[in-house]
Chain A
Amino acid sequence: MAFAPSEEPVALKILVAGGFGVGKTTLVGAISEIRPLRTEEVLSDRGVGVDDTDGVEAKTTTTVAMDFGRITIREGLVVYLFGTPGQERFWFMWDELSYGALGAVVLADTRRLTDCFPSIDYFEQRGTPFIVAVNCFDGADRHEAEDVRIALDLDPDVPVLLCDVRRRASAKVVLVTLVEHALKMLTAAQR
């Protein structure tokens, strides 16, 4: 492996998780320079090919667009945001995405609170610092953050906050809350 000069950039990774349609793409777009990023998955054999594929290795892939944003804190220090895909068939990507991640924002929609259970379970098990941000959709009943904490059976030290991910200022508060939480966990671990 190469040895880097000291001015080499430092990159940090923050994940944005939550159910389908909860506002992950909106959050990434509200706060960062959003960039196109495609990954691919191997399609299962069923559904592939009308053609006779005998003797041909039938490995067909489809590309999937990922939410990907970058925030330049200063020259040489960049925070990357990755949206974790919401559907079950993308679970294989989670381990890779969460490897080395600073922390995760779990976006919740109070109308479909159960959608964020899998994300919460996952980060709890991995010990990844995470916060729950309740995206306040128009027309949805306003719930207090504490009600959400009880409904999700969260540890008392996991921050829960209400947000509107369409607003940049709100998205900023969400990210700051997460990094502060990660810092708190880090200093607690070092004590």
Chain B
Amino acid sequence: MSGPQWMDEEAGPVVRPYALTGGRTRPSGEKLDLIAIVTTTGSRPEGGTGIGPEQRRILEIASHGASVADIASDVDLPLGVVRVLIGDLHDLGLVGVRDPGKTAPLPSARLLREVINGLRAL
């Protein structure tokens, strides 16, 4: 049998991105939204917690707050992998996660006006 014919060029290469997560494909907690903001709590990782270089990099990026999508882009790993890694950091109490869709389902009128003006000024 030849390779899967139905994949187009957008599909990219077949890889095994979950080696970093020990094969887990789902984060331990709730699914993190793409624009949920991840921020370090200030706690330091204890020795022996098994934090890898990718997670250290995530902690660095999230030190001033960063979205899940930005983190995935910065560490250049697929979203699903990054979600598992962030979930682990959350379980360890090293990061907090704020989901804008949950806290305020709709942005305020003031914020939208600010966005309109900001876009016009680009």
Binding site for B on A (CB under 8 A): 1-4, 8-13, 31, 35-40, 42-43, 47-48, 50, 59-65, 68, 70-71, 73-74, 77-80, 82, 96-97, 99-100, 102, 168, 172, 175-176, 179-180, 182-183, 186-187, 190
B interface residues, how many (CB within 8 angstroms): 58
Q: Is the CB of B35 within 8 A of A100?
A: yes
Distance, CA A144 to CA B41, complexed state (A): 54
Closest 8 CB pairs of A and B: A2-B96, A100-B101, A73-B118, A47-B4, A11-B35, A183-B112, A39-B79, A35-B73
In the assembly, what is the distance between CA of A176 and CA of B116, in Å? Answer: 6
Q: Tell me the interface secondary structure of chain A in the complex.
A: mixed
* A73 CB contact (under 8 Å) in B3, B17, B99, B115: B115
Contact with A along B1-34 (1 / 0, CB 8 A): 1011111001111111110000001000001011
B84 to chain A, nearest CB (A): 12
Docked CA distance A77–B107 (Å): 12
Residue ranges of B at the interface with A (Cβ–Cβ < 8 Å): 1, 3-7, 10-18, 25, 31, 33-35, 37, 39, 41, 64-67, 69-70, 72-73, 76-81, 95-101, 105-107, 109, 111-116, 118-120, 122
Chain B nearest Cβ from A66, distance in angstroms: 8
Say which residue of B64, B79, B111, B118 sits within 8 Å of A37 (CB atoms): B79
Which residues of chain A are near B112, meaning CB under 8 Å? 102, 179, 182-183, 186
Given known A71-B119, A176-B119, A179-B119, contact A9–B12 (CB-CB < 8 A): no
Residue of A nearest to B4 (CB): A47
Are the C-beta atoms of B73 and A68 separated by less than 8 Å? yes
Q: Are B96 and A1 in contact, CB atoms less than 8 angstroms apart?
A: yes
Interface of chain B: mostly helix, strand, loop or mixed: mixed
Residue of B70, B96, B101 near A3 (CB, 8 A) is: B96
A11-B67, A37-B73 are contacts. A96–B13 as well, Cβ < 8 Å? no
Distance between Cα atoms of A150 and B62 in the complex (Å): 47
Q: In the complex, A187 Cα to B111 Cα: how many Å?
A: 13
Contact A100 B98 (CB under 8 A): no
Across the interface, which residues of B come within 8 angstroms of A179, CB to CB? Answer: 112, 115-116, 119
Cα A43 to Cα B81 in complex, Å, equals 16
Does A38 lie within 8 Å of B119, measured CB to CB?
no
- 18 other contacts beyond A2-B95, A4-B65, A62-B14, with CB at 8 A cut-off? A2-B39, A3-B96, A4-B96, A9-B37, A13-B35, A37-B72, A39-B78, A39-B79, A40-B78, A42-B25, A47-B5, A61-B17, A61-B78, A62-B7, A63-B11, A63-B17, A80-B67, A186-B112
Residues of A within 8 A of B115 (CB): 12, 73, 77, 79, 102, 179
Cα–Cα distance between A42 and B1 once the two chains are bound (Å): 20
